[in-house]
Amino acid sequence: MTVDYRANDPATGRTVVLTVPSEESAESPILLQRFYREARAAGSLQHPNIVAIYDLGVDRGNPFITRELLEGCDLGELAGREKEKEAQTPQASAKLLDYLLQACRALSYAHQRGVIHRDVRPQSIFVMNNGTAKLTNFVHARLPEAFTPVSAGIPTGTFDYMSPEQVRGGRVDAGGDIWAVGCTLYELLTYKKPFQTENVTAFMIAVMSQEPTPIHELRPDLPTELDDVLRRALKKDRTERYKSIDALVKDLEPMVRQMQAAGPAA
Closest CA to 117 of 172, 193, 165: 172
Q: Which residues contact 231 (CB under 8 A, 6 or more apart)?
A: none
Please state, in angstroms and rounded to a whole number, the distance separating the CA atoms of residues 229 and 245: 12
- Integer CA distances (angstroms), 127 to 77, 151, 178, 260, in order: 10, 30, 20, 19
In angstroms, the Cα distances linking 99 to 103, 146, 195, 224 are 6, 30, 22, 21
- Residue 222: name the closest of 112, 120, 97 by CA: 97
Exactly one of 119, 177, 227, 246 is catalytic; name it. Answer: 119
Chain centre distance of CA 165: 17
Helix then strand count (H, E) for the chain reads 10, 7
Instruction: Please state the φ and ψ torsions of residue 171, each to the nearest 5 degrees.
Output: -65, 135
b (16+ CB within 10 A) / e for 62-81? ebbbbbbebebebbbebbee
Question: In 3D, which of 29, 26, 38 has the Cα closest to residue 65?
Answer: 38
| 160 catalytically annotated | no
Pick the closest to residue 96 from 67, 116, 122 (CA basis): 122
**Catalytic residue positions, numbered:** 119
